[in-house]
Structure formats: C-alpha cells, structure tokens
Amino acid sequence: MEREQKGILIVISGFSGAGKGTIVRELLKKYDNYALSVSMTTREPRPGEREGVEYFFTDRKHFEETIRSNGLIEYAPYCGNYYGTPRAYVEEQMEMGKNVILEIEIQGALKIKDKFPESLLIFLTPPSAGELKRRLEGRGTESREQIEKRLVRAAEESEGVEAYDYIVINDKMEECVEELHGLVEAARRAPVRRREFIQEIRNELKGFAQESAEP
C-alpha cells in the first residue's frame, strides 16, 4: 500500500535569507524520494545559470503557447518576464511516487493550493527578524538598499503566512531538513492520501460483517 502512493506536491516559500536553497538541496541529497521542479522563464540567463538546472529559458512566444496548451500548472509575470511551472515533469515525478518540490512565492503557492488542494504548503523562516537581517547583511554581496528592499518585501510576505500548512523555523540546517521530511511523512497519513487503503479495509470489513450476519 505505502509504496504505491503517489508523490506529494510540496510548495516551499520563505523570506529571502531563510535558507530555502540550502535546505532543499540537502533534502534532495539525503532522501531519494524527492524531485525538484525547475521553472520556465522568459528572462535572460544570468552568468553561470544553466538551462534546465536553474531554469528552462525560453522566449515569450513559446511561453505563451505553453500557457495556451495547459502546459504550466501555474505562471505569473514578474518584472516584465514570465515565470511558470511546467506540468509534465511535476506529474510524471508524482506518478513515480516522488514528492515534487516547487520553490515559489506566495501568489504561486496560493494558485497551486487552489488547483491541487492536496499539495503541502511550507513556509520557511529564520528564528527571528533580527536573525534574517543578520543573515542578509552577513552575505556581504548586497548593498544596504538591496537589503532594505528585501526586509520590506519580507514584511509584506509575513502577512500571508497563515495560508501555509506549516511554518518551519530554519535555525539549525540539519534539524530543519529533518523537520521538513517529517512534515511530508506526516502528510502521507492524511485520509486524502489513504483513499485506496480506506476503501480496501472498508470492503473487507463489510465482507466479514455480512459473513457473520449469515446463519
């Protein structure tokens, strides 16, 4: 029964600086039943970005065709470019029993929950806002202005966290990976993901009940 279960669609969002990238990478490294969805975008690749790894890069015409052919499970424009999640990969992996991770922000997350009510929405946060600020400053790669922009954005994002199924605090990386995995394991025990099992045991029990009703 267990092994036949379809994979779970997992949306991971979180404040910039919450450590999403690291956590997801470690989860993929540690457990083999996860797969990471790669987004499609019309923006230009940045130096070092590889086709099919960071993104699938495409042009506006092809992106819009993909929208029309229902080839994306969600998409949104952002700063003049399109970003979206190709459907085929997600569905294939889930059928194979893999839990598919989407790293997207709240608007996308809500669209996913709307279309896939059984998806699991997880919001990752540092232990405090002060710690978030320290992490952003500690990177040393961003200007004061960029950091302030990210903090303003985080304040906005914090308004939406109740829409998520779980809020996970990324304090120690390894513990956080285990917590995430534990949430996914828990989700597999929800009745919506036990439908076949429930139906089977119900039928069998009814069989027993009928037998004993016979003289």
Among 22, 81, 107, 128, binds its own copies (CB under 8 A): 128
Does residue 138 touch its own copies according to CB under 8 A? no
Q: What backbone torsions phi and psi does residue 142 show, to the nearest 5 degrees?
A: -120, 150
Q: How far is the CB of 192 from its own copies (least distance, A)?
A: 8
N-term to C-term CA, the chain: 34
Taking contact as CB under 8 A, which single stretch among the options 6-14, 60-68, 105-113, 175-183 is the one that binds its own copies?
175-183
Among 59, 148, 175, 196, binds its own copies (CB under 8 A): 148
State how far the Cα of 181 lies from the Cα of 12, in Å rounded to an integer. Answer: 12
- Which residue from 30, 26, 14 is spatially nearest to 127, judged by alpha carbons? 14
Alpha-carbon radius of gyration of the chain = 21
Reduced to 3 states, what is the DSSP secondary structure of residue 57?
A: strand
Taking contact as CB under 8 A, which single stretch among the options 46-54, 63-71, 84-92, 153-161 is the one that binds its own copies?
153-161
Does residue 207 touch its own copies according to CB under 8 A? yes
Q: What backbone torsions phi and psi does residue 12 show, to the nearest 5 degrees?
A: -115, 120
Q: Interface with its own copies by CB under 8 A: which residues?
A: 1-2, 125, 127-130, 132-133, 148, 151-152, 154-155, 158-159, 161-162, 164-169, 179, 182-183, 185-187, 189-191, 194, 197-198, 200-202, 204-209, 212-213
